[in-house]
């Protein structure tokens, strides 16, 4: 049990520290020039400071700002509580799900800290294809959440499905 906790909270702590350090750097070092920012790989990857007062893909942007902030913060806190509850009640045991839980926890806490402290989430990573398609700007916390969710989906679909087929 302690090993699962150590791995989960170790990964969460790593994501959280990397996220907060990178956001602090972005806030002080990156220009506020829109998506162009600083080109890292021409036509593909930029670093540009952005303040996200909404959710991914502009979800909930039609809600009043304070309502949106409370909903997003509340949802993240509820997700954190559910994940910790699953960990404490031994429902998270496989190595991959332990890692995924840590990544999601670290990302969720990182974004909650921003929303609580600043009122918005700092984003700065910009992937794009030429000048035609831009992926929404994101950060390390968002990356931890997305990677963690993909791991959970992979485990629940492929690993569980494979185990069910082998059990027949």
What would the two tokens of residue 43 be?
């036509």
Separation CA 133–CA 35 (nearest Å): 11
Please report which confidence band the pLDDT of residue 93 belongs to, taking 50, 70 and 90 as the band edges.
confident
Per-residue burial over 18-37, b if 16 or more Cβ lie within 10 Å, else e, is bbbebbeebeeebeeeeeeb
Catalytically active residues, by annotation: 123, 142
Contact 5, 16 (CB under 8 A): no
| Mean local confidence (pLDDT), 44-53 | 92
Read off the pTM.
0.87
Q: Among candidates 48, 147, 7, which has minimal Cα distance to 155?
A: 147
| Mean local confidence (pLDDT), 80-88 | 93
């Amino acid at each position: 049990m302690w090993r699962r906790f150590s791995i989960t909270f170790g990964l969460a702590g790593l994501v959280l520290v990397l996220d907060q350090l990178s956001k602090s750097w972005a806030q002080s070092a990156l220009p506020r020039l829109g998506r162009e920012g600083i080109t890292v790989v021409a036509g593909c990857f930029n670093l540009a400071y952005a303040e996200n007062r909404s959710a991914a893909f502009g979800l909930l942007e039609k809600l009043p700002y304070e309502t949106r902030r409370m909903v997003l913060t509340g949802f993240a806190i509820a997700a954190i509580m559910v994940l910790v509850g699953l960990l404490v009640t031994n429902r998270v045991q496989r190595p991959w799900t332990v890692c995924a839980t840590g990544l999601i926890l670290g990302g969720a806490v990182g974004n909650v800290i921003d929303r609580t402290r600043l009122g918005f989430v700092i984003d700065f990573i910009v992937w794009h294809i030429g000048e035609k398609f831009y992926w929404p700007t994101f950060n390390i916390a968002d990356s931890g959440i997305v990677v963690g969710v993909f791991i959970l989906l992979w485990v629940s679909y492929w690993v569980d499905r494979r185990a069910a087929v082998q059990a027949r």
